[in-house]
Amino acid sequence: DVKVTQSSRYLVKRTGEKVFLECVQDMDHENMFWYRQDPGLGLRLIYFSYDVKMKEKGDIPEGYSVSREKKERFSLILESASTNQTSMYLCASSLEGAGTEAFFGQGTRLTVV
Partner 1 sequence: DQQVKQNSPSLSVQEGRISILNCDYTNSMFDYFLWYKKYPAEGPTFLISISSIKDKNEDGRFTVFLNKSAKHLSLHIVPSQPGDSAVYFCAARATGANSKLTFGKGITLSVRP
Residue selected from 62, 69, 84, 97 as contacting partner 1 according to rule CB under 8 A: 97
Does 87 sit near partner 1 (CB under 8 A)?
no
User: 19: which strand partners?
Assistant: 78
- Cβ-count burial 12-23 (b if 16+ within 10 Å, e if not): ebeeeeebebbb
First-last CA distance in the chain:
37
Could you tell me the smallest distance in angstroms from the CB atom of residue 105 to partner 1? 5
Does 31 sit near partner 1 (CB under 8 A)?
yes
Q: Which stretch binds partner 1 (CB under 8 A): 13-21, 43-51, 60-68, 74-82?
A: 43-51
Does 103 sit near partner 1 (CB under 8 A)?
yes
β 31-38/87-94 pair status: antiparallel
β 10-13/4-6 pair status: unpaired
Does 11 sit near partner 1 (CB under 8 A)?
no
- Summarize as ranges the residues that interact with partner 1 (CB under 8 A): 4, 9, 31, 33, 35, 40-45, 48, 50, 56, 58, 90, 92, 94-107, 109
